[in-house]
Structure 1
Amino acid sequence: MQRSNARFVERLPLVLDRPIYAYGLTLIFCGAAFMLRIAAEPLLPNGYPFVTFFPVVILSSFLFGVRPGIFAAILCGLVSWYVFIPPFYSADMNPGVAVAMLFYTGVVVVDILLIHFMQRANFHLAVERERNRALAENRELLFHELQHRVSNNLQVVAAMLALQRRHVDHDVARKALDDASARLGLVGRISRALYDPSGQGQDIRAFLTTLTSDVLEASGRSDIKLTVSAPDGLTIEPAITVPLALIVAEAVSNAIEHGLPDRPGTVAVALEEAQGALALRIVDDGHGVAPNFQHGASESLGLRIANALAVQLGGRFSLTPGVHGGAVARLDLPARTAC
């Protein structure tokens, strides 16, 4: 309702392209004020000749602009002078009449000027709002175009790495190129889908669901069951999106590739919030990790990337054996990452 009222005020004065309507309606307002003043005559003490005419001047100026307001002020002033100021039904001028008319003139002039300046300010405000809206639309369009180009460039680089893989005979080198290509492709998809020019955070449940589905689809496995749980309505800062996505993707890919390489299984992604801090767990029921596994001493590129990204976020990443088998990848993030 407040927004509608603001839009109405910005459209004032009305019927500028048909001034005859404005003057006609102003004349009707003056006639109504005259009839109301006659009807109120028995209830009013002596004086108050202008009491019902001031609102007409204000309303006409507010709705139709300065000229209809001046027209209403002159017409109402003459009617009041002739009908309601002694001697009645005459246009005699005396000191008392002159003072009353000067008072009336001063009040209506101030009213008309104030309304005029207010409407000019509203007009400039509406113009500026429209300009800002156009700039915002252009900014959003340019932002999406930039994100589209960045994502496309990343996809091109990923495709080039995949092509280069065909000319490499060493298995380790081919595996490194495959991993690099997959990570670049993932970053490109995240950049395209999750960055928002408004700066608002992403809903973390939808984000994790989409991300893990993409990772599972990329793995080519249809025998893995993925579950995602997260608090309702929780969002994350845009700057956290890509690092967090890469960590989750590494953990889920690791669970599928190393924990469940040869049999069906389950991977559960669970997010918990406690006093603003976030704890993300990726649990699988696969082969697990060795009891003497040293997370910090691992030579796995994926784990090193996950550790580096966790440090970048001010958090901590760990990979430990599960209580009932399998493995648990855990990411703890400080409170500032939640919106």
Structure 2
Amino acid sequence: MPPLAPALPPRLARLTQHLRGLPGAEYWGAVGLVLGSLGLRLLFAPILANGYGFILFYPAVILSAYWLGGRPALLATALSTALACAFGPTPLSFLEDGRALLSLAFFLISSILLLHVLSSIRERFSDLARSHARVEALATGQAELFREHAQRTTDHLQLISAILQVRALGEDDPTAARVLTNAASRTLVISRAHRAFADGDGRTILFEDFARRLTHAASDRGGLEADRVMFGGGEVTVPVEQATALGLVLLEYLTTLRAHSPAARLLVVLEEQADQRVLLLTAAGAADLPPPRDTVLVEALTGQLGGSLKVARGPTGCDVRLAFPAALQPPPAWDPLTFSLH
């Protein structure tokens, strides 16, 4: 049962925790409290009458029940009763006076009632602590579920923005292209506002850890085998929004390589270069390796990052280099129409 005593100083709390680990520590604690009360009884013996010295043993009983539990408190009550009986008319003689014995009986009965009340309080507090722990665990789980749902929603909005931008780039009608570009920019603004509300501004993650987990998840769903992907660059952190865009680029290349040449190998490196970050995807191990299949989507994601994309192909490899500013870039300015399409 957890202790219900008021908060102790850190050093004393550590000592108490250590003592609680000793065998029978609670009972030795009760004996110590009774001996302390006995010292007070001897100190005030000239002042207190024989029948009233028992009141100095109340602190030992109450503190034992409050700090140590019911059974140690019963031991403290029994010892206190025996010691109180030893203060008769002469030293170490037992009480024989009727009023003194009646007072002692009252002490014993009231101590037992106190034990019952304090034990009930301790049990109620323990139940409350357990209920609070369950509620806290439930609230934590719900908060984590909400955070995960919010993260997925934000990532989907960011992907929708990129898809709208892809549609805008492939649209022949200038008016429709403007509408799609505006929609892509506005969706990205909504995505950022949602992310700021759910996660707070400025949240960053280690890209290498994120990319490793993403690669392992993708290997079972149509991506290149995880053991054929290597990572480098060290502990470079990026904002969550940038990590999402980079992750989509990585997923696109993993699925491309799996479909074209499952024997290929891929090196994933994110470098810090002054105020820029550079993602390098180096594929090797097979002939005529292609760049990411959906180049237009990769270019749209590059545009979200405010970066530049370079692809270099060779006879036995392909290098994809995506450079972008370390700071988040503002979404493209809107170019609204002066008339309605409806």
TM-score with structure 1 length normalisation? 0.52
* Residue 196 of structure 1: how far off its partner (Å): 6.2
* Residue 91 of structure 1: how far off its partner (Å): 4.0
Aligned length: 205
- The corresponding residue for 2:141 is 138
* Residue 45 of structure 1: how far off its partner (Å): 4.8
Matched, 1:167 2:193: no
- The corresponding residue for 2:198 is 195
Describe the shift of the 1:25–1:99 C-alpha distance in structure 2 as closer, same or farther (beyond 3 A). same
Unpaired runs of at least 5, structure 1: 198-216, 221-248, 259-297, 302-339
Worse overlay, 115-124 or 70-79: 115-124
SS at match of 1:116: helix
- The corresponding residue for 1:53 is 57
Q: Does the CA-based 8 Å contact 2:185-2:333 persist in structure 1?
A: no
| Equivalent residue for 1:75, pick from 79, 82, 85 | 79
Matched, 1:96 2:91: no
Q: Does the CA-based 8 Å contact 1:155-1:184 persist in structure 2?
A: yes
Matched, 1:150 2:169: no
- The corresponding residue for 2:29 is 25
**Residue identity matched to 1:79:** L
| Equivalent residue for 1:63, pick from 42, 61, 67 | 67
Unpaired runs of at least 5, structure 2: 201-302, 307-329
Q: Does the CA-based 8 Å contact 1:16-1:64 persist in structure 2?
A: no
Q: Does the CA-based 8 Å contact 2:62-2:114 persist in structure 1?
A: yes
Q: Distance in 1 between matches of 2:97 and 2:51?
A: 16
Q: Does the CA-based 8 Å contact 2:41-2:56 persist in structure 1?
A: yes
Pairwise CA RMSD of aligned residues? 3.5
Q: Distance in 1 between matches of 2:28 and 2:151?
A: 57
Q: Does the CA-based 8 Å contact 1:60-1:69 persist in structure 2?
A: yes
- The corresponding residue for 1:122 is 125
* Residue 133 of structure 1: how far off its partner (Å): 2.3
* Residue 218 of structure 1: how far off its partner (Å): 6.9
What does 1:186-335 align with in structure 2 at a 5 Å threshold? 186-195=189-198, 253=333, 299=338
SS at match of 2:79: helix
**Residue identity matched to 1:185:** L
User: What percent identity do the matched residue pairs reach?
Assistant: 23
Q: Deviations over 1:21-66 (max 9, x none)?
A: 2222222222221122111122335641212111111111111111
| Equivalent residue for 1:111, pick from 111, 114, 128 | 114
Matched, 1:34 2:6: no
Describe the shift of the 1:65–1:219 C-alpha distance in structure 2 as closer, same or farther (beyond 3 A). closer
SS at match of 1:152: helix
